[in-house]
Structure 1
């Protein structure tokens, strides 16, 4: 790893750039692997989902539940990212819409402001109630929105209720994450 420390010389404070090949070669001296493919796949290719190999190989799986996980619950934050694929401020302004998600497909966009939801004045709690009541139903969630001074109605065809991500232990595998996190 001397490559990353001035090639073993005392350079003093200096910027020493390195190439992709330098990185791959240095990593191969530590642990032989196809590092070039590993990084090209993760840095230059798009995938529909996050790489979860570290979690699954560590003995866990990603699941979605209708209650917040232990990490987000104490904050009391209501997050709709995994249920309707958008983030909303308490004043109703949409701050993020996940591309290809339910809200995006329905025509929602960042900067729009939610007005009534299912005919009732907007609040985060009202949006949460609408998502909960749509679970298993057939009627979509109706949202009046304002975009640049123009009001319109959009519908969310989401019937899965609230969804929060969580890591769940896979009982049939070794708990490698616990092994890593255990103090020595």
Structure 2
């Protein structure tokens, strides 16, 4: 874990510092969007909702060809991944920082699995919305693999965003509304607490 954090500090400091000045000059107030899959969307939502510069987080499905229910997506046969559509202010948080959090809060080396959650719907994936996001994601993934931040290679998919289908209402703000539920207390809470310690300077 120490090796992992050191590698991230080295890799991301250059990206973040270079883009911070650029963002200051542009004073860009336009919000940008990216959809991320990193296992169960309840976990991803809980983390990004607390991140400074993130305007909105919506849980949903992406990657399949048509709208599907949660039960259908859980079958692993729809082509969808559980994702969070993240709307953020690039003048406050850069895309590089969004991905820094993404790659630290899940295991991007396991295929179609995060812990006990198994299936293609739990795959590690970045659905980019423009060519700049694609290039940044691909470059960072390449550097992570070259630096051997993990013993196994990062297998995160990087693909163009397709139609986003919002999940059912009861999935939205799931952790906030169901913190005493067993999955929340045993899986989401420990991950959320670890995130807050590592990224305490980026919290709202």
- Give yes or no for TM over 0.5: no
Of structures 1 and 2, the larger Rg is shown by: 1
Greater share of residues in helix: 2
Shorter-chain TM-score category? under 0.3
Return the structure number with greater relative CO, CA threshold 8 A, min gap 6.
Answer: 2
